Structure 1
Amino acid sequence: MELSRVSAKEYKNSFDVVFHVFNTVEFSELNSDKCESLHYLLFIDKKVRLGIVLGERENMLLSPFSAPFGGFTFVKSNTRLEYLEKAVKLLEDYASKTGFLIKISLPPSIYAPSFIAKEIGIFERSRFGVQHIDLNYQFETRDFFSYEECIDRSARKNLHNSFKQGFGFEKLNSESITDVERVYDVIRVNRESKGYPLRMSLQNVLNTIKVIKADFFILTHNAKDVAAAQVFHVAADVVQVIYWGDVPGYTELRAMNYLAYKVFEYYAASKIRWIDIGPSSENGIPNYGLCEFKENIGCSVSLKYTFSL
Structure 2
Amino acid sequence: MEEYNFYEGIPSAAYSADFEVALFNKYQHLYLQSEEGWYTFYAANEKYKSIACCMHVHVSERDAWSPLRSPFGGIECSDEVPPVILFRFLEFIEEKLKEKGVTNLVIKNPPQFYNPRRAALTETLLFNLGYSVIDAELGTIVEIKEEFGKHADLWERRKLRQAREAGFFFRAVPNEMLNDVYFFILACRKQKGYSLSMNLADLRETASRFPDQHILSAVYQEEKMIAASIAIRVHQDVLYNFYSDHDKQYDVYSPIVLLMEGLHNYCMTNRIPLLDLGTSAVNGKPNFGLLDFKLRLGGVPTSKLTFKKDW
TM superposition score normalised by structure 1:
0.88
Instruction: Please state how far the C-alpha of 1:197 moved relative to its aligned partner.
Output: 2.6
Following superposition of structure 1 onto structure 2, how do residues 165-176 of structure 1 map, counting pairs within 5 Å? 165-174=166-175, 176=176
Deviation string 1:161-185 (CA, Å, 9 cap, x unpaired) is: 22211113211222x2xx1112112
Work out whether residues 135 and 284 of structure 1, in 8 Å CA contact, stay in contact via their aligned partners in 2: no
Cα contact 2:8–2:41 (8 A) shared by 1: yes
What is the root-mean-square deviation of aligned Cα atoms in Å? 2.3
1:106, 1:306 within 8 Å by CA — same for their partners in 2? Answer: yes
- Deviation of residue 107 (structure 1)? 1.1
| Secondary structure, counterpart of 1:170 in structure 2 | strand
Paired residue for 1:21, among 2, 20, 23?
23
- C-alpha separation between the residues in 1 aligned to 2:76 and 2:42? 9
Correspondence 1:52 to 2:55 = yes
Change (3 A) 1:45 1:160: closer
Give the match for residue 164 of structure 2. Answer: 163
What CA distance in whole angstroms lies between the structure 2 residues aligned with 1:161 and 1:82? Answer: 55
Give the whole-Å Cα distance in 1 for the aligned partners of 2:229 and 2:15: 34
Look up the match of 1:114: 117
5 Å matches for 1:206-245? 206-212=204-210, 213-245=213-245
User: Would the aligned equivalents of 1:172 and 1:218 in 2 still touch at CA under 8 Å?
Assistant: yes
Q: Deviations over 1:227-257 (max 9, x none)?
A: 1111111111111111111122111121111
1:168-207 mapped onto 2 (5 Å cutoff): 168-174=169-175, 176=176, 179-207=177-205
Question: In the TM superposition, what whole-angstrom CA distance separates every residue of 1:256-309 from its partner, at most 9, and x where no partner exists?
Answer: 111112221222222111111111136863111210111122211111121110
CA distance in 2, matches of 1:282, 1:84: 34
Matched residues in 2 for 1:164 and 1:259: separation?
15
The amino acid across from 2:253 in the alignment is L
Unaligned runs of 5+ in 2: none
CA distance in 2, matches of 1:103, 1:30: 19
Structure 2 distance, partners of 1:102, 1:283, is 23
Does the 8 Å contact 1:38/1:53 carry over to 2?
A: yes
| Contact residue 134 and residue 282 of structure 1 kept, 8 A | no
- Indicate the residue corresponding to 1:100 in structure 2: 103
Shift of 1:79: 1.2
- 1 CA distance for matches of 2:45 and 2:274? 34
2: CA distance between counterparts of 1:291 and 1:192?
20
Write the distance in 1 (CA, Å) between the matches of 2:13 and 2:186: 35
Whether contact under 8 Å (1:135, 1:286) holds in the other structure is yes
Identical pairs, percent: 22
Gaps of at least 5 residues in structure 1 are: none
On the 8 A contact 2:33/2:70 being kept in 1, the answer is: no
